[in-house]
Amino acid sequence: MLTRYIPIFVILSLLAEVLGTVGGFGSSVFFVPIANFFFDFQSVLGITALFHLSSNVTKIAFFKKGIDKRLILYLGIPAVIFVSIGAYFSKYFNPMILTYILGLFLIVTSLLFLIFKKLIVIPNSVNAILGGTLSGFSAGLLGTGGAIRGITMAAFKLDKNKFIATSAVIDLGVDFSRTIIYYLNGYMHKHDFYIIPILIVVSIIGTWIGKKILNTISQDHFRNFVLVLILLIGILSVVFNK
């Protein structure tokens, strides 16, 4: 990336971190499409994994009182297993086609929950395992699976602090697993490492700003905000997929 573009990249990354914190499903859903404008796709996967490790450690520190251990077990373990599978197969699939599929899925699912307010997903272990499996596989394959996890967790109607803390713990396991696979796949390049310390600072500042914003949002508004963000992510994934 050319030096003159670094300030723009940092500002956009900070915005992604703030929105990811407020939405509760991590910054990668915003960061991946942003980083795609500055780096090649494989480098984006490697940078995102390292950025997210720092981001999730920060979120756990800020929201650690709200962790849901049961959901971590049923949603987190499948996510960690399938992120490794998705990361391994990432080199064999066309990311453009997969991004279209993911975008359409997010649009349809978020609209269903926004239009049909009484529509619920039964908060049981089967649905949690399914959500963890899909989100983990997507995270490994495309670099982002937080929106699918967000759909699942929004259906469980968790308290916003519990939502964010639990999502961050699951994401930490997911990122640790895919970081190893991405490294073995050769996605992490030494010439990109200079950006990592900058992104660590971005993750701390962005999480702090996001937490301040969350303190002003009610629980009902939080759930709707999450669904609207997921809808926008789906639309952007389809419209700007190149």
- Cβ atoms within 10 Å, residue 67: 18
Residue 14 has a pLDDT of 92
Angstrom distance (rounded) from CA 33 to CA 219: 28
Residue-wise pLDDT tens digits, 30-81: 787 778 778 887 888 888 888 888 888 888 888 777 677 888 888 889 888 8
Predicted pLDDT of residue 121: 65
Q: For the chain, give the mean pLDDT.
A: 81
Amino acid at 198: I
What local confidence, expressed as pLDDT, does residue 205 receive? 92
Average pLDDT over residues 166-187: 84
CA–CA separation, 138 vs 140, rounded Å? 5
Task: Read off the pLDDT of each residue in 113-138 and give the average, rounded to a whole number.
Answer: 80
Q: Which amino acid is at 16?
A: A
Res 87: pLDDT = 83
| Mean pLDDT, residues 8-28 taken together | 83
Q: How confident is the model at residue 209 (pLDDT cuts 50, 70, 90)?
A: very high
Average pLDDT, integer, range 124-133:
85
- The b/e string for 204-214 (b: 16+ C-beta within 10 A; e otherwise) is bebbebbbeeb
* Assessment of whether the complete model's pTM goes beyond 0.85: no
- Over the stretch 105-123, which tens digit does the pLDDT of each residue have? 778 877 877 887 666 667 6
CA distance 53 to 49: 6
* Among 131, 123, 132, 125, CA closest to 155: 123
pLDDT at 1 over 60: no
Task: Encode burial over 92-101: b for 16+ CB neighbours within 10 A, e otherwise.
Answer: eeebeebbee
**What is the CB neighbour count within 10 angstroms for residue 132?**
29
